[in-house]
Chains A and B, each alone.
Chain A
Amino acid sequence: MVTDLLYNPGPNTIHGISRLRGGGKIESQREPVRSRRAREMEVLRLPLSASQKGRLISAGYTSIASLSSISPSQLALELKISETEVLEILKTASDGSRLESTGSSRTIVHGAQSAWDMLQEEETLVRITTSCADLDYILGGGISCKEVTEIGGVPGIGKTQLGIQLAVNVQIPSDYGGLGGKAVYIDTEGSFMVERALQIAEACSDDMVEYSCLYRKGSQACEVKRQPKDFLENIFYFRVCSYTEQIALINYLEKFITEHKDVKVVIIDSVTFHFRQDFDDMALRTRLLSGMALKLMKLARNFGVAVVLLNQVTTKYSDGSFHLALALGDSWSHASTNRIILHWNGNERYAYIDKSPSLRSASAPYSVTAKGIRNSASNNKRIKHT
């Protein structure tokens, strides 16, 4: 819990509130014991090393306020450490408690955002089309950037297909209503097929030609066709062979995306594979997974990329019977903002929105064709493949 609080780069509300209440050295004796205790622990919450915390506490500096009015040299003497180290401690302490005094907008706490601002931002939020109109419709236009979307389903339902499709679609230029971005494809299973990516890219470039012929008669029809090769050039493919590499790569992505600003989607196919084997210590697994989930959310938020996690299914016992459920357990199900389950319904493939804070739960049919993900075959008969 404590680590979670600290991990978030957002506002550290506890410190803010204690200052607001006029905290400082004078502590009201009538305060309930619990809240006083909480303030005494403040130093423990600071991102300092264990020995530094130990020195602070044994010297009697337990609350942040107690550090605010002491001179560095005095503190250095008391703690028996160098002055530079003390300066760093004080800097950390003041970062932790600082109020955003003259903030540009109405925000009370540094790093926070008002709900109204968020709404404005959400309305300009871009989405990546899935190439299936029905699916786009229930998703409110496609897979949204800035969010983590998890997609799961039984083997052979089309998870990898959807992944490749998104990696291609993210590159549709803005003239065509796309994002004109690039894609990072993290393959943990080795199921990525280059030939298939080529097929989907070819179909996408054909569709773009068709679109420009239909909607901009004459004027720009002679514009150069985007080659399938260009699509493939903009997909960065990483092959990950162990869970350690997976964690390392996700840590490194922040730097990678800073260097490659155009990346607009990160696809992990599948997030599950390495975490479903070779784990005796389930507590460790949960810890690593939740750490990874936090990093992915941060990545999505800070860089405005869509993070798409493909997940496998497993069987789960609940309410006296077995059901299919997405793998990695209950705590993992909090990791993604949106969760989509792909399933068979009779003879058709359906996508079902299992979890989303903003979309209503709905399902839509889709199909996997030679060209990629498209509307369901009942609307759009597929030509028999020979």
Chain B
Amino acid sequence: MANKLISEMGLPKSIGNIFAARNIITTKDALSLTEFELMELLDVGLAEVMCAVALISEIASPPYQTVQSLLEQRMQNEYLRGHLPTHLKGLDAALSGGIPFGALTELVGPAGIGKTQFCLKISLLATLPSCYGGLDGHVIYIDVESKFSSRRLIEIGLNSFPEIFCLEGMAKEMAGRITVLRPGSLTEFTESLQKIKVSILQHQVKLLIIDSMAALVSGEYEQGPPRQHPLGWHISLIKSLAEFSRIPVVMTNQVRSRSASEITQYSFQVESRTGAIEDTANFDSHLVAALGIHWAHAVTIRLVLESRSGQRFIKVAKSPMSPPLAFPFEVTSSGILLLNDDGVEMAGPQINAIDHQGHSDIICHRDER
């Protein structure tokens, strides 16, 4: 609505013409100026300007909904109450049904921990017919790191849903619904996002996966003092994509080691407490998510995958619904499996820590067949 034309808002003719004459065409143009700048520019009195701004604002404001009507709408119109089940019982329960539609869900973890495995599994789930608990739709998989493996996809399918995948032609049907895009740079990625916007509406796209977001910017993103964020407007584009087409969006994020100057404290904390500094010293061995705090604010759900003393965990690090839980898991031939559906509640900022110990020893690829 930022680009709504002022000429179509029914302003009094006289003032409408002045806006047009001064090249103030859209709402954005008008509201980027203060009332006094407008007075100077348009050469009209304060009362007229206030009137015009009030009218423009009223028309450009988004409409409201009560939360009750929003809730009813979601309950009635959406399949599975607006969640894509991951088929990991504990995780689904914590997230009240699975990965929510219309929001960004992020997976963070060290290389090889199982992020791509998770993505492959849920893209299969989204393609499954609804009688098997899937969304019966198409999937767009943006594979930046070239890690997508069709063979692995079919393998996971065969092991998790043998009753479907052993049927003649079904494997082809299911895999055919997953479209893989491989953009080479941020610009290409942007172009494909624009195309996706259209095709989501045309085809029955029910899930968007971006693996990984961090790889897109790592080339252009160096450490040091904060500056303009290279992902700036992409964040709002992806968010609006998720929201207006009401599909779940799953993204992965890489990790990097924490640099010495990394901060986790406010200035008032350092002054007042010396004990707190010791606390952070303990965290220094950890990794941090590659995309910084700005990005972390933007995602609605963050799942951290880590390995601690030989055991892999998936942690619900940020979620408006779930308490901070950690579930032990392993990667098997049928994808990620939780060892325990209850989960352990974590205290404090530990939930955000990304541990990476003894990871290389525990790659157990149990073949069940």
| Cα distance, A256 to B64, chains bound together (Å) | 10
Question: Are B102 and A232 interface neighbours, CB within 8 A?
Answer: no
The reply on A325 being an interface residue by CB < 8 A is: yes
Question: Are A154 and B293 interface neighbours, CB within 8 A?
Answer: yes
Give the dominant DSSP class at A's interface: mixed
Collect the chain A residues with CB atoms within 8 Å of residue B345's CB. 382, 384-385
Question: Are A190 and B243 interface neighbours, CB within 8 A?
Answer: yes
How does the 8 Å CB contact mask read for A292-325 relative to B, with 1 for contact and 0 for none? 0000000000000000000011110111011111
How does the 8 Å CB contact mask read for A338-366 relative to B, with 1 for contact and 0 for none? 00010111111000101000000000000
* Interface members, chain B 227-285 (any A CB < 8 Å): 229, 232-233, 235-236, 239-240, 242-243, 261-270, 273, 276, 279
How does the 8 Å CB contact mask read for B281-308 relative to A, with 1 for contact and 0 for none? 0000000000011101111101000000
* Interface members, chain A 251-288 (any B CB < 8 Å): 251-252, 255-256, 270, 272-274, 276-278, 284, 287-288
Give the nearest-CB partner of B29 in chain A. Answer: A244
Quote the shortest CB–CB distance from B227 to chain A (angstroms). 11
Collect the chain B residues with CB atoms within 8 Å of residue A270's CB. 297
Collect the chain A residues with CB atoms within 8 Å of residue B183's CB. none
Quote the shortest CB–CB distance from A20 to chain B (angstroms). 25
Give the nearest-CB partner of B269 in chain A. Answer: A343
How does the 8 Å CB contact mask read for B331-369 relative to A, with 1 for contact and 0 for none? 000000000001101011111100000000000000000
Collect the chain B residues with CB atoms within 8 Å of residue A193's CB. 100, 103, 300, 320-321
Pick from B45, B266, B342: contact of A386, CB under 8 Å = B342
Quote the shortest CB–CB distance from B315 to chain A (angstroms). 11
Tally of B interface residues using CB under 8 Å: 90
Question: Are A191 and B103 interface neighbours, CB within 8 A?
Answer: yes
* Interface members, chain B 59-107 (any A CB < 8 Å): 59-68, 70-71, 74, 93-94, 96, 100, 102-103
Question: Are B44 and A49 interface neighbours, CB within 8 A?
Answer: yes
Question: Are A248 and B56 interface neighbours, CB within 8 A?
Answer: yes
Pick from A49, A237, A276, A354: contact of B66, CB under 8 Å = A237
Question: Are A276 and B232 interface neighbours, CB within 8 A?
Answer: yes
| Cα distance, A315 to B262, chains bound together (Å) | 9
The reply on A88 being an interface residue by CB < 8 A is: yes
Pick from B32, B232, B293: contact of A315, CB under 8 Å = B293
Collect the chain A residues with CB atoms within 8 Å of residue B57's CB. 247-252
| Cα distance, A319 to B268, chains bound together (Å) | 13
Interface residues of B (CB under 8 A from A): 1-2, 27-28, 31-32, 34-36, 39-40, 42-46, 53-54, 56-68, 70-71, 74, 93-94, 96, 100, 102-103, 225-226, 229, 232-233, 235-236, 239-240, 242-243, 261-270, 273, 276, 279, 292-294, 296-300, 302, 317-323, 325, 342-343, 345, 347-352
User: Which 4 pairs of residues, A with B, have the shortest CB-CB distance?
Assistant: A347-B348, A251-B57, A277-B232, A47-B46
